[in-house]
Amino acid sequence: MSKTILFGKGIRDGIPIGLGYFAVAFALGIAAGEAGFSAAQAATASLLCNASAGEYAAFSLYAAGAGYAEAALMEIVANARYLLMSCTLSQKFAPNSPFFHRLLVGFDLTDEIFAVNVSRDGYLEPAYAYGTMLPTIPGWAIGTFIGALAGNLLPEFAVSALSVGLFGMFLAIVVPPAIKRRAVAAVVAASFALSSVARFVPVLAKISPGIVTIVLTVAISLAAAIIKPVPEVWDED
């Protein structure tokens, strides 16, 4: 199959993802505007970092006055799963694939793009991967831009209402596996509980919110991995 056809197939499969990203990025843009970013700055951030959780963490830390080291560390924690996805997807490339193809494909390795690329039969052709990226990167950046712009123009009550959409996205990600797996539900509950406790414990309240978030994320994830490691095949509890 020619590279042109593969590229076209990638665009076809990437369009639904790009449309979904536009809707999510709109809410993310509102969060960026509330954190003090201009529409252009928010769009640039989305062009360089296609990761909803990572970007939201960065915007939140910026709004809280966190330093660069805290923000960088939180980005590593929030986006650590992409390291595993990259290792998996690298096995799909032909052994003689140039390094620059692997590097460029890894730039926009989101959950959905990973899913459509890793599910293809045979070796992954870079042309197809680039096709999936073509609608998704602009969709993410434009959605963020318009969201930030709308946040600056809409009245405060409307911005507050629309900003709930981002939390709805996180709930949509967390709730289904939490319903299916009691271990996941326990981790979610522990995260909520410990985050709330951290706000009211005098010692922890004096520490930067970014540091507290990083410590809780790593500690809860490590505890869950030790107590209830993920099996190769997820059976019902």
- pLDDT on residue 160: 59
Domain boundaries, the chain: 3-165, 181-237
Task: State pTM to two decimals.
Answer: 0.67
- pLDDT on residue 235: 44
- pLDDT on residue 40: 93
- pLDDT on residue 28: 85
- pLDDT on residue 167: 60
- Helix, strand and coil content of the chain, in percent to the nearest 5, comes to 80, 0, 20
* DSSP element (H, E) containing 132: helix 126-153
- pLDDT on residue 159: 56
Answer yes or no: is pLDDT of 232 > 60.
no
Answer yes or no: is pLDDT of 202 > 80.
no
Answer yes or no: is pLDDT of 236 > 50.
no
Nearest to 6 by CA among 136, 151, 137, 130: 130
The better pLDDT of the pair 72, 128 is held by 128
Angle at 207 between CA 202 and CA 211, to 5 degrees: 135
- pLDDT on residue 221: 76
The better pLDDT of the pair 91, 7 is held by 7
DSSP state of 230: P
Give per-residue pLDDT as tens, 13-57.
Answer: 889 888 888 888 888 888 888 888 999 999 998 988 888 778 888
- pLDDT on residue 88: 77
Give per-residue pLDDT as tens, 131-190.
Answer: 999 999 999 999 999 988 887 776 665 555 555 555 665 666 567 777 877 887 888 888
Burial 177-208 (b: 16+ CB within 10 A, else e): ebeebebbbebeeebeebeeebeeeeebeeee
Give per-residue pLDDT as tens, 75-133.
Answer: 887 787 787 778 878 888 888 888 888 888 888 888 788 888 887 888 888 899 999 99
